[in-house]
Amino acid sequence: MVRRAFDILGIEATKDTRAIKKAYALMAKQYHPEEHPAEWEKLYGAYQTALEYAQTAEELLENEYGSGRVGKGGAAMGAAGDGFAGGGGSGTAGETYFDENVTEAEGDAFSGGDATGSADDAFSGGDAPRAAAETETSAGEPFSVSSNAAYGTFFQEAQEQWLRKKHLREQFMRQKLRELVSLRWPKAVKAWQQFFDTDLTMDEDEDEEILLILLEAIRENALSEKVFYLIMTNMNSRLRFYAEMGDSDRALAAMEIVKYCSGQIPLLHRKAERRRKWIGIPAALAAAFFLLAMTGLHQESVTEGGVSVLAAEYLNEKYGVSDYTAAELEAEKIQLIGSNEDRIDSFEVREPESGNIIAYAMRDIEEAEGTFACFDNLQESEIKDAFEKRLNALTGHEEGRLFWDSSFSDSLSGGLENGFFHTKYEGDFDAFIRQETKERSNAPGVMTSFLISDYCSLNGLCDYYLPDPEVETMRERFALTDYTEDPDLQASLRQGAADYLLQIRGVILPKKFFQEKTERAEGKRSGIYVLRDVHGTLGMEPLMSFLMLTGWYVNLPPEDEKILNISSGMYMQPVISMGEGIYGAESTLRGQAFETDPAWGTGSMVKTENPDSLDLTEEEKEKAVSFRLGDGYVLKNDYCLAIDKELYGIADADYRVMVTKQNGFSMDLAGQHLEAEDGTALERYVSSYAEPDAALRMGYALDGEGYLFIEYRAADMAEEADIITVINP
């Protein structure tokens, strides 16, 4: 933010307020607020940011700018303790200074042309404006003030108007967010989406302060899982947009919002406060339960209120309680997409107080009797724990950890989300899963047609983590050349996939990695990311890179093997020494262009010069190190790299990772076609490799055991390959 401000003013970063004022005075003559409002707002925002940088907090409180503390971008700030609950404080815009001796010629020097040049000319910087400002300042001339000049008075009024507008904008956002966080489901979800569609649009020229106000609001208030998810998905799109546009300030603010929301969703999803008050079902009640609840709920024509009644009856019958009433549940019809849009009625059922979804009710609208099938998530943790114990018994590995995504399609397609089951679990997992499989097979929304890329087994898919019996560390893993399949493990996993009609992927990790990964996941099973693989001709990709695994067993039910055209078995990719202290492995199983010579890429990664487009300071250049694909090498597939941090002087923590796109790229995002020029740099968020949801495909760089792990994208031409730059703190 500060560096960009001085670039706009056309001078080097400085603490000399006279130089800042003079540069602003010269530039301001070119941009009348009414004729060039956008350019003038950028210029004035840069001026205020530069002044804030130049002055200490004490000087800001007691100087010629008045008693109000000037905040970032020029907005008057309230007391630090105001927070989200109270609106920001007020302050007066200070007097604006102009030098009577600044000539039109000097003003021209800042644009490289006449005073009515374009915005691109005005903010291009260059040697001429820097020289002009520095010469005057270094000569020691007093900065003369002409507060009575008509032109200066006009700009003072314009600045005050701009400050008022900015302050009102922030007040509006705080008030709007106060209204949003007070809403309860289902109004909250619709209101938040409208907020992003109309009040905080992506193309609006907001600074990061507005996003920080949003972050403050969601941190200080309890929101529902769906609201957090909605905010996260909206801000994730904006994060990519800001990054593509090179707006690092807003990108970083958006990243913080995404990180916070993604952390809250697993917490809510676990629902520690979920009611578990059911008792044993008497024999007579059990008979009635199986006659009614397990066969479905009937109603010819149903409203959302009617579904709430049906759901309450279902839950009370299933668990032998009387805790649920229609008044305590709220149902909302789901607007489906795809082939089920006109075939399925589907409803979400929520607890109004928390906003959490606890059940789904679905029916085939073509059936005359209008039968509803209900699924709930009240036993999710208990069922998943039972499956882990059953699979450990089947494989003979008590230490195994299972992460199961039980969905067979998403709810918007008429399917069922993760963690929702129709059958009551009563201690026997095999009996439970047999009955559950029958219920799912007959449920509305079961896919009759599908794309391979969207397909998953009837009871979902899961990753089963095990420690390698011999490989302890990542360094040992990189030296591994032989991948020996465990036939007993493979046979037991394949049998489990066939018996339970789901996909099981055995993930064998180095012992240290397994211990750290599973310890971080303790109590956070729902926070583990289970990848929906792409199969067939599109290739397969494990959750963690082949570089970090010592074995990857893919196991499918027999019918799924036919559909997806793959066989159960162990799949691996070789690790290649791609440079001194740099190891790599292909990210997917496709693109086997060099399978006859797996070591073809040895020595392909080299150190290179830091890209000029990063615009690093001299201090940053000295600490930064960059890597790229060497001349003569062309990648046909994406690779995961592991870079030895100690060898290349990379800090233990707090370093930044930039990926510079040499040949530019284009993309369509939120209805906008974006073009990124050559040299565009995207920052990668650095996460511990032991984090439960850490995945390279999410754009992260991972850190662990002294290595930096990062995905390196393929390029058709070696000279166009990406450059990875690590900037040390």
When pLDDT is averaged across residues 560-579 and rounded to a whole number, the result is: 89
Tell me how many domains the chain contains: 5
Same domain, 115 and 253: no
pLDDT at res. 420: 94
pLDDT at res. 276: 30
| Domain boundary, last residue among 379, 394, 421 | 379
Question: Considering all CA atoms of the chain, what is the largest pairwise distance in Å, rounded to the nearest integer?
Answer: 99
| Domain boundary, last residue among 167, 201, 235 | 167
Instruction: With CA atoms as reference, report the closest residue to 323 among 380, 275, 379, 271.
Output: 275
pLDDT at res. 153: 57
Range of lowest pLDDT (95-109, 413-427, 518-532): 95-109
Measured torsion, CA atoms of residues 282, 283, 285, 288, in degrees rounded to the nearest 10 = 160
Q: Is residue 440 part of a domain?
A: no
Q: Is the pTM of this model over 0.75?
A: no
Q: Is residue 271 part of a domain?
A: no
- Which is it for the CA torsion 124, 126, 128, 131, positive or negative? positive
Q: Is residue 268 part of a domain?
A: no
Better-predicted residue by pLDDT, 91 or 48: 48
Segment 400-444, tens digit of pLDDT: 999 998 987 777 777 788 899 999 999 999 999 999 999 988 888
When pLDDT is averaged across residues 116-131 and rounded to a whole number, the result is: 38
Tell me the C-alpha distance between 587 and 308, whole Å: 46
- pLDDT-derived band at 345 (thresholds 50, 70, 90) equals confident
| Domain boundary, last residue among 536, 570, 604 | 570
pLDDT at res. 259: 77
Same domain, 398 and 546: yes
- pLDDT-derived band at 619 (thresholds 50, 70, 90) equals very high
Better-predicted residue by pLDDT, 141 or 680: 680
Better-predicted residue by pLDDT, 109 or 379: 379
Q: Is residue 198 part of a domain?
A: yes
Rg from Cα positions in the chain: 30
Same domain, 480 and 559: yes
Same domain, 719 and 641: yes
Q: Tell me the backbone φ, ψ of residue 23, rounded to 5 degrees.
A: -60, -40
Same domain, 623 and 673: yes
- pLDDT-derived band at 530 (thresholds 50, 70, 90) equals confident
Same domain, 32 and 128: yes
Tell me the C-alpha distance between 400 and 398, whole Å: 6
Range of the domain at 329: 283-379
Q: Is residue 649 part of a domain?
A: yes
pLDDT at res. 594: 44
Q: Which amino acid is at 257?
A: I
The tokens of 680 are what?
């565009």
In the predicted model, is pLDDT for residue 470 greater than 80?
yes
pLDDT at res. 211: 86
Better-predicted residue by pLDDT, 137 or 41: 41
Same domain, 690 and 619: yes
Q: Tell me the backbone φ, ψ of residue 448, rounded to 5 degrees.
A: -100, -20
pLDDT at res. 152: 55
Tell me the C-alpha distance between 533 and 630, whole Å: 31
Tell me the C-alpha distance between 641 and 707, whole Å: 9
Q: Is residue 237 part of a domain?
A: yes
pLDDT at res. 681: 86
In the predicted model, is pLDDT for residue 131 greater than 50?
no
pLDDT at res. 442: 84
Tell me the C-alpha distance between 588 and 542, whole Å: 7
pLDDT at res. 256: 81
∠ CA 157-41-108, nearest 5°, is 90
Average pLDDT, the chain: 75
Same domain, 11 and 94: yes
- SS3 readout for 643-688: EECCCCCCCCCCCEEEEEECCCEEEEECCEEEEECCCEEEEEEEEE
Q: Is residue 369 part of a domain?
A: yes
pLDDT at res. 198: 79
Same domain, 135 and 210: no
In the predicted model, is pLDDT for residue 93 greater than 70?
no
- Burial code (b: 16+ CB inside 10 Å, e: under 16) for 43-79 equals bbbbbbbbbbbbbeeeebeeeebbebbbbbbbbbbbe
Q: How far is CA 387 from CA 56, 401, 429, 493, in A?
A: 60, 10, 7, 13
Range of lowest pLDDT (141-155, 288-302, 565-579): 288-302
Same domain, 390 and 367: no
DSSP conformational letter for 469:
S
- pLDDT-derived band at 726 (thresholds 50, 70, 90) equals very high
Q: Is residue 75 part of a domain?
A: yes
- pLDDT-derived band at 399 (thresholds 50, 70, 90) equals very high
Strands 723-727 and 503-509: unpaired
Same domain, 157 and 210: no
Same domain, 37 and 111: yes
